[in-house]
Structure 1
């Protein structure tokens, strides 16, 4: 019999192990692109295919209420196996661009049964203190996001076959840990029937819609911030005529967000998820609007400020997920988390594409101003009426 105190560490380890398919895969994309003979032209498509697979996967899982109708632990384990198989397929001797795109899309699709389902499992165990539990769980995801930059900065990614093998095996082990040692939680309430409109109908609940809109504002900012942090570091290197390591500094800035997720989870236990989410979203929003001024600072102070921003932009993520789960009926928690993830990641693609287009139109220090749109909308939704 597994003790409840062991459940969260097991989930954290399993979540990190399984999502390594996503993160480490991004670190080997250059080698995969070269193997097809197409070079850099395919890199953007490979990265986007994972995101698109995840968005479609979360949409399908939400519409079919997979995590609420079936055992979430079994869903997690099965998706870990299929995601690992998609990843393993990259080891074939002859590989085409369509094989790469399909494999990465498939990996993203089955990750929809890992990341949001992992949060669903946590919500089934932690009725009280969910914000703290999700703080640690999402922190593991943030650390995984930073991992490819560490691989690149230290030169560990020279053999992509080794990374593919290691991440695939890790994912299978992560799925087995959940299947064997994390049974369905005591607060789980199973949905008895399929209701295709259940996910959409959740937005009729004003408390749920507030939490969801706050999360969407957060997602507008988060992934674009991460995606363009390397460009910000390159820009400050050029402005200040310095030569700091772009991948290592990017790793540090993103990885610090893992600690802020944990800290935010701790404070949520005392002050509530709502207050922590609002404060973090406000701070990151302020950084959006003062971002051009940060490029005028000496390089050291720029990196310190950017690191604080990196912590603020991440700290609210698990708290919004906690608010979403708490606002949903017990039998629809999995569906609620999954559909909000689906929409949130779709929004992140739009903001990334916007900033990408702006890089050719305006000076780099100005593009981060547009990230402020997300926090403004999120804060407006959360503060226009008292959150109950």
Structure 2
């Protein structure tokens, strides 16, 4: 007679969520201090796109390598999280001396992205081991934590800008310390997960065919791709948008607020999805964020209060649909290939984000933001078109 999996202690989900938040802090560490780096080095405005793309590509490489080698299946999930958190912290600290050289900083960011593949996906794996039946709710909290953690370097930069005793590179020290604490928290506060029966899954490239042949899976995957055209591009451009109205600590605090607001969208979206369904919640948030892109020319010229309200709404909805797309893809993927489908779809999505970041940051450097931002709506528009099969009543 098969015994039921043990119930998770109450501390497990909060510990994983907080660890995810702290572990994601190195993601935008360079972006938070990019204006300082440009003043110190004379780098061009498009340097932020190249540095962000290096991290995204490192993350893709890490995700694929971990999946191909079945790292999370062959080794204890908590140990993988710990060592990746420590390695990510080391790479973040290495960025301080590397900042004098663009090439060295580029390599540091790529390596940071590689080890972040052991934070975000591995954290989700850890949650799946403890909450196999409540993953939908856990996913909203986990991705919300990832969003807030990614925004945290802007808060660190705001603190540094508020006090003369905090130099800008303290952002790197703070992000590295947060990553170390994340790894230790998983080891000390999260028990070993229940063992699952079976051989290491690995990565099955043949699973990619199901993304095209299955109509419902194709809808969720391509909806996610449209979402990824917008998400990281908006996050990279937020400091540039805010710089049209704000400066110094105020700019950094509002960058943290706008990016961090996505956590609210993730958690609220998870609650609404129970009543309305993931597809409808994802579509509503995708449509709202796309509308925010189209309203950019008006919002950029609006009074400060409306300008900030527009950015907050955009921040909430641009990230709030992420957990729902992950849930839809996992639900519609073939049961035997869920891990491979999620890995491949996420990797393609991050590759799309690299192209989008490079294109729109360079476009923003060549023409006014009011003429650039509306074009980002192409991503949400295509995502909504592809998502239609999941919105029709059965």
Alignment partner for residue 239 of structure 2, among 227, 230, 235? 230
After TM superposition, the score normalised by the length of structure 2 is 0.83
C-alpha contact (below 8 Å) 1:294/1:302 kept by paired residues: yes
C-alpha contact (below 8 Å) 2:53/2:358 kept by paired residues: no
Distance 1:103 1:348 in 2: 20
- Correspondence list, 1:304-323, <5 A: 304-323=309-328
| 106-115 vs 13-22, which moves further | 13-22
Q: Secondary structure at the match of 2:27?
A: helix
Distance 2:209 2:74 in 1: 17
Distance 2:304 2:95 in 1: 40
C-alpha contact (below 8 Å) 2:156/2:171 kept by paired residues: no
Unmatched runs of 5 consecutive residues or more in structure 1:
none
Distance 1:340 1:3 in 2: 29
Instruction: Please state if 1:7 is matched with 2:43.
Output: no
C-alpha contact (below 8 Å) 2:124/2:139 kept by paired residues: yes
| 68-77 vs 341-350, which moves further | 68-77
Where does residue 78 of structure 1 map in the other structure? Answer: 83
Distance 2:293 2:51 in 1: 29
CA drift at 1:166 = 4.1
C-alpha contact (below 8 Å) 1:191/1:332 kept by paired residues: no
C-alpha contact (below 8 Å) 2:157/2:168 kept by paired residues: no
Q: Secondary structure at the match of 1:5?
A: coil
- TM-superposition CA deviations, 1:302-321 (whole Å, max 9, x none): 22122112211111011111
Where does residue 219 of structure 1 map in the other structure? Answer: 228
CA drift at 1:70 = 4.7
Where does residue 141 of structure 2 map in the other structure? Answer: 136
Aligned Cα root-mean-square deviation (Å): 3.3
CA drift at 1:140 = 1.3
Query: Residues 25 and 138 (structure 1 numbering): CA distance in 2 closer, same or farther, change over 3 Å?
Result: same
Where does residue 61 of structure 1 map in the other structure? Answer: 66
- Correspondence list, 1:22-171, <5 A: 22-28=27-33, 38-40=41-43, 45-68=50-73, 70-90=75-95, 97-155=102-160, 158-159=166-167, 162-171=170-179
Where does residue 172 of structure 1 map in the other structure? Answer: 180
CA drift at 1:217 = 0.9
| 225-234 vs 367-376, which moves further | 225-234
- TM-superposition CA deviations, 1:250-297 (whole Å, max 9, x none): 222222221121111121233322221111112112222233232343
Alignment partner for residue 369 of structure 2, among 364, 385, 388? 364
Where does residue 252 of structure 1 map in the other structure? Answer: 257
- TM-superposition CA deviations, 1:138-174 (whole Å, max 9, x none): 1111112222222223325933565444433432332
CA drift at 1:367 = 1.1
Query: Residues 132 and 101 (structure 1 numbering): CA distance in 2 closer, same or farther, change over 3 Å?
Result: same
Query: Residues 282 and 123 (structure 1 numbering): CA distance in 2 closer, same or farther, change over 3 Å?
Result: farther
| 276-285 vs 95-104, which moves further | 95-104
C-alpha contact (below 8 Å) 1:23/1:144 kept by paired residues: no
- Correspondence list, 1:320-359, <5 A: 320-329=325-334, 332-359=337-364
CA drift at 1:43 = 5.6
Where does residue 373 of structure 1 map in the other structure? Answer: 378
